[in-house]
């Protein structure tokens, strides 16, 4: 019988990069969403419906695409390569999504997923803070 561990600990960067870009984006999507929801809740008391509306305005492919474009200049070459892997991964965007925005959002999510899985919490926090606080190019707008 397999023993389930909530989080067995971080992977090495090399191990994290063994996953394909869509697997990294799968994890990154949830991590991104959790950061956004946490920031919204900490930002003041709001009802859950309002929190959901605000989160939905931030956690969507168009907003994530803009966020990536805003922080792109702050990414290392390795991070840019990982984003490119995610952006070029073959996935089918939803009907209502712009394919270019969807591809960029997938790239950002792949980066977030890799940082999370490899335990690079400081860098993950830095990137998410830039996005959520508006970053150097007003990545998302302040929460």
Give the active site residues.
29
Q: Which residues are within 8 A (CB) of 143 and not within 5 positions of it... i.e. 6 or more apart?
A: 36, 39, 40, 43, 58, 132, 133
For residue 140, pLDDT over 70 is answered with no
DSSP 8-state class, residue 4: P
H/E run at residue 25: helix 21-42
Does any domain span residue 73?
yes
Residue entry with tokens 């009802």: 47
Q: Give the domain CATH number at 123.
A: 1.10.1520.10
- What's residue 139's pLDDT? 47
Counted domains in the chain: 1
- What's residue 46's pLDDT? 83
The residue among 10 and 136 whose pLDDT is bigger is: 10
- Burial 99-124, CB ≥16 within 10 A → b, else e: eebbbbbbbbbbbbbbbbbbbbeeeb
Single pTM value for the model? 0.88
Q: Which residues are within 8 A (CB) of 71 and not within 5 positions of it... i.e. 6 or more apart?
A: 127, 130, 131, 135, 136, 137, 139
- How far is Cα 58 from Cα 33, in angstroms, rounded to an integer? 9
The residue among 90 and 86 whose pLDDT is bigger is: 86
The per-residue pLDDT for range 24-79, each reduced to its tens digit, is: 999 999 999 999 999 999 988 789 999 999 999 999 999 999 999 999 999 999 99
Does any domain span residue 29?
yes
Compute the average pLDDT of residues 70-92.
Answer: 94
Compute the average pLDDT of residues 10-34.
Answer: 95
- What's residue 90's pLDDT? 84
Domain span holding position 129: 23-133
Average of per-residue pLDDT values in the chain? 89
Compute the average pLDDT of residues 2-14.
Answer: 75
């Amino acid at each position: 019988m397999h023993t389930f561990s909530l989080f067995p600990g971080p992977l090495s960067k090399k191990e994290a990069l063994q996953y394909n870009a869509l697997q990294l984006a799968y994890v990154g999507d949830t991590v991104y969403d959790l950061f956004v929801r946490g920031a919204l809740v900490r930002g003041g008391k709001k009802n859950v419906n309002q929190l959901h509306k605000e989160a939905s305005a931030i956690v969507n492919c168009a907003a994530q695409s803009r966020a990536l474009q805003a922080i792109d200049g702050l990414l290392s070459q390795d991070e840019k390569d990982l984003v490119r892997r995610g952006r070029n991964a073959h996935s089918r965007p939803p009907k209502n999504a712009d394919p270019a925005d969807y591809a960029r959002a997938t790239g950002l999510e792949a980066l977030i997923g890799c940082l999370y899985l490899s335990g690079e919490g400081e860098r993950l926090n830095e990137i998410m803070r830039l996005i959520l606080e508006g970053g150097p190019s007003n990545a998302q707008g302040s929460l």
